Amino acid sequence: MQPPIILASTSLYRRQLLAKTGLIFQCQAPEIDETPFANEDAATLVQRLAREKACAVAQQHDQGWVIGSDQVCVLNGQIVGKPGGPEQAYHQLAQASGQVVTFYTGLCLQDSASGRQQLLMEPFDVHFRRLTPSQIQHYLQLEQPYDCAGSFKSEGLGICLFERLSGRDPNTLIGLPLMALIDMLANWGLVLPLAVDQQSEA
């Protein structure tokens, strides 16, 4: 029988993404310290935190496949966090104007019963248009993306800010590399999409 699927996150965005697969799953907040180590680069950081999130939740379950994910946004070599408010969001978008912003997303799938893991990092590049101050202000007033790293929602009006996107999976940009996750699940014998009679078992 298929072990339970557990998303080690309470993020609404990740929950909505995972729901697209048709899997039945539960969510649990991982209690970890997300402070970067000294001189830790973005790719290493997101893989470490994805693994720690999956491990923290897996340790609380006798069985289950736990999904951990973490993402950072990098502009000109610096990690850009969530703005938290309009002033910082304006500053972030003004800096991103005409630039390439790279999102690094770590993904870990851990089997609680055996401890086996799959781990990867997936990058995604956002090429910004040259933005005027009024474009930035109008966008922020309309969408208020203050809980999003980089100060935009690509699944919404944020698409107006971009010249082009480069990457394997656009879901990665929102916070969960679904294509990579589907590969991981298939590696362990769970091939999506599920038949109707399998969905209640997953």
pLDDT tens across 20-66, in order?
Answer: 999 999 999 999 999 999 999 999 999 999 999 999 999 999 999 99
> Does position 115 have pLDDT exceeding 90, yes or no?
yes
153 vs 93: CA distance, rounded Å: 12
pTM of the model: 0.92
Please state, rounded to an integer, the average pLDDT across all residues of the chain: 95
Enumerate the domain spans of the chain: 5-199
201 vs 121: CA distance, rounded Å: 29
Concerning whether 41 is annotated as a catalytic residue, the answer is no
106 has which bridge partners? 70, 121
Find tokens 């699944």 and name the residue. Answer: 155
In the set 33, 41, 62, 70, the catalytic residue is 70
26 has which bridge partners? 6
Domain spanning 5-199, CATH class:
alpha beta
CB burial of residue 9 (10 Å; 0-12, 13-18, 19+): buried
User: What's the pLDDT tens digit per position in 121-170?
Assistant: 999 999 999 999 999 999 999 999 999 989 999 999 999 999 999 999 99
Q: What pLDDT is attached to residue 130?
A: 98
Write out the two tokens for 54: 């999956």
